[in-house]
Amino acid sequence: MMNTSLAMIAEKALPALSGNSVTYNPEKNVYLTLGYTSAAGNMYYQAIRFSKRLAVYYDIGQGHTHTFLNGIKLFCWDGQKAKLIAQKYWGGFNWKIFSEYFAKEQSIIMLKDFLCAQAKALGNNIPEQSLLSFSRQMIEDTEKRCLA
């Protein structure tokens, strides 16, 4: 069961997570949105992980044979609302079978690229390995279980 503090944070920081349309799967440590079923019988939903600084949304499709990763969105908290900072989509002939490892690595690369662009905009030249290490830690923070 999600603690009261975490519920308030989710409601304020990530409005898309508030309400009855989200459930928590403790086995996978992920929030799941209500999905919808397409005319072809495929189920589509989002799996969401977050930390105090970052939210990672996986757009997932569940077919009769495979689970697919259709896209990833990264959000940060700007003090008022969630702000999209990076997104990547797969589809058509470029589809990806869902893998936790692949999704995590893509999220890390996306965050690293965002931070690299931000550093350059501020006139800083930060080594890529430092950005990669920092990005990995931030994505791993979204995978940690939030304890009361």
Residues 13-33 have pLDDT tens digits of 555 555 557 788 887 888 888
Quick check: is 27 in a domain? yes
- Structure tokens of 72? 């990833």
Structural domain of 110: 4-143
Query: Is 56 within the bounds of a domain?
Result: yes
Give the DSSP letter of residue 28.
Answer: T
- pTM, rounded to two decimals: 0.80
Asked, for residue 31, whether it belongs to a domain, the answer is yes
Give domain status of residue 148, yes or no: no
In degrees to the nearest 10, what's the CA dihedral of 45, 50, 53, 54? -30
**What average pLDDT does the chain have?**
84
Question: Domain total for the chain?
Answer: 1
